[in-house]
Structure 1
Amino acid sequence: MATDVNTAPPIIDLEASGFGRGSYPIEVGFALENRDIHSFLIKPEEDWTHWCKDAEQIHGISREQLKAEGMCIEDIALKLNEMLRGQTLYSDAWSFDSSWIGRLFDSAGIVQRFRIETINKLLKPDQVEFWHPTKEAVLQELGLRAHRAGIDVQVLQETYLRIANMS
């Protein structure tokens, strides 16, 4: 993977209705290698009823906002496949993000045409220990608030670039 200032690994991040059983994706964001960022709010399905007020406090997205502004899961699944087909995207919360993206595609009845891997596959063991402090520094320097998918993918790419260039 190239590590110049303009190229970074493609990153994906999801926000969700909560954590654990019954939770579902409410926002998906991804950053491409050229650092273009896209994010979409997801309109919950009728049977997606789990809602955690603690999670809402973290991401700041209400169910009402999702119902008013979110895209239907079929449209999002098709858009993701169109834009990401054949790519591998990286996540710093692989187990959660891959589970939520799986729920989106399963519920939409559409085959996912891209892969998600853990960002740790791109890092050397000594780089992993610098991940969280570097990520926090990036958030502070950029003056951003975490836990919105579009912002998070931007921060994750910048964090990766800084760590990759440490070596």
Structure 2
Amino acid sequence: MQDVESFLRIAIERAGYAAVVELLGDSVQEMELDENHKGLWLSFKKERIVVRHDSSGFVCFKVDVAKERLALLHEAQKATHFVDFEAPGIAPDSYALEVAVVFPGGEYQTLIKPASYWDHWSYDAQDMHYLSREQLINQGQPSLAVAQEMNRLFDDKTLCSDNPVDCFWLDVLFEAAGIEPTFAVQPIESFVGRDAAGEIYDRLPVRKGHRALQDAQALSKAAADHFK
């Protein structure tokens, strides 16, 4: 029943206690909770699993029904697209200089030509991604072209990232492009929960240099290896 416990923990963490109870519907029996009890608690009673969460109350799930319905929830939100951005340093006026996405059946990677007002540059960051500003100007794609291509490729998808700052790079890119993204970027915790995310992070290789495609590939592999 440990897979059911894992499903419940992640689902409650991701969607909230009330949403999970609503999802499970007639498989749930709710009970009163002593006000002194706090936190998330689970126990197994034959074919049932009992969950206590903060002050919301006890619920008792039929394991077979809960497992089936939670599996559908997890499958619907399973990470399949893995994204990574590289940037010329961490600063309020920084921006994305490279993006890559690994997805079922393919990969996308491009350098991004700096917009006219993107003038931040860190040579410490350059020592990590090995890209010069001149290389970006000569080989990078304009922000509008990158944004349009990403919208075309990843429309209505949710891309999984190992760094919350990737959401910031996405916003900066699309602001420069002058259009809205038709996809989302979420940290891996949103897909698998904090505990599993920590285990996936532990599987990522430690290296000095960072390029977007290598990092996206590493995250995809680490996630796949974790769930083997």
Structure 1: how far apart are the matches of 2:188 and 2:171? 18
State the one-letter code of the partner of 1:55.
A
**Who is 1:9 aligned against?**
80
**Structure 2 counterpart of 1:92:** 162
Return the letter of the residue paired with 2:90: F
Partner of 1:131: 200
Hey, what does 1:50 align to over in structure 2? Answer: 120
Greater share of strand = 2
Give the aligned partner of residue 39 of structure 1: 109
User: Which is worse superposed, 123-132 or 36-45?
Assistant: 123-132
Superposed displacement of residue 147, structure 1: 1.4
Give the distance between the partners of 2:194 and 2:179, measured in 1 at CA. 36
- Identity, % of aligned positions: 31
Kept after mapping to 2: 8 A contact 1:123/1:164 = no
State the TM-score, normalized to the length of structure 1: 0.84
Deviations 1:61-100 (A, max 9, x none): 1101101100001100100000001000110002x11101
Q: Secondary structure, in 3 states, of the residue corresponding to 1:117? A: strand
Q: Does 1:28 align with 2:91?
A: no
Residues 18-62 of structure 1: CA deviation (Å, up to 9, x unaligned): 102111100010011x15111000000111000000111111111
Shift of 1:121: 1.9
1:104 is the counterpart of 2:181: no
Larger relative contact order (CA 8 Å, sep ≥ 6): 1
Calculate the aligned-residue CA RMSD, in Å: 1.9
Unaligned runs of 5+ in 2: 1-73
5+ residue gaps in structure 1?
Answer: none
1:107-122 matches, cutoff 5 A: 107-122=176-191
1:18 has 2:89 as partner: yes
Shift of 1:119: 0.6
Q: Residue in 2 aligned with 1:149?
A: 212
- Tell me if structure 2 keeps the 8 A contact 1:98–1:116: yes
Aligned-residue offset at 1:8: 6.0
Provide the C-alpha distance between the structure 1 equivalents of 2:194 and 2:117, rounded to a whole number of angstroms: 42
Aligned match of 1:163: 226
Residue type of the partner of 2:122?
C
TM-score by length of 2: 0.63
CA distance in 2, matches of 1:147, 1:133: 17
Question: Which of the pair has more CA radius of gyration?
Answer: 2
